[in-house]
Amino acid sequence: PDARTRLHAIWTLDGLDGLEMTQVSAALKDSSPDMRVAGLRLSERWLASNAAIRTAVLSLMDDTNWFVRRQLA
């Protein structure tokens, strides 16, 4: 339930080359702005090839958190 734990876990999975697109999609919808920012950064590898990820990323344009909007830009 702790956002810091989720954040550490997603970056660890990325470092171990075990990250999956479903985990990134979940991060983009997370209640924590830090997780959404991480999701944006980690989604870049799938942006060119996956329309669902592009749609999820673009849905964050109106995010209430400035850091999320900045990362999206």
Write the DSSP symbol of residue 48: T
Q: How high is the pLDDT of residue 33?
A: 97
pLDDT single digits (tens) 48-58: 999 999 999 99
What are the angstrom distances between the C-alpha of 8 and each of 12, 42, 46? 6, 13, 21
pLDDT single digits (tens) 20-48: 999 999 999 999 999 999 999 999 999 99
Q: What percent of the chain has pLDDT over 90?
A: 99
What are the angstrom distances between the C-alpha of 5 and each of 17, 18, 32, 72, 73? 18, 17, 11, 23, 26
Vertex 16: Cα angle to 15 and 21 (nearest 5): 85
Find where tokens 């959404």 sit.
36
For residue 1, pLDDT beyond 90: no
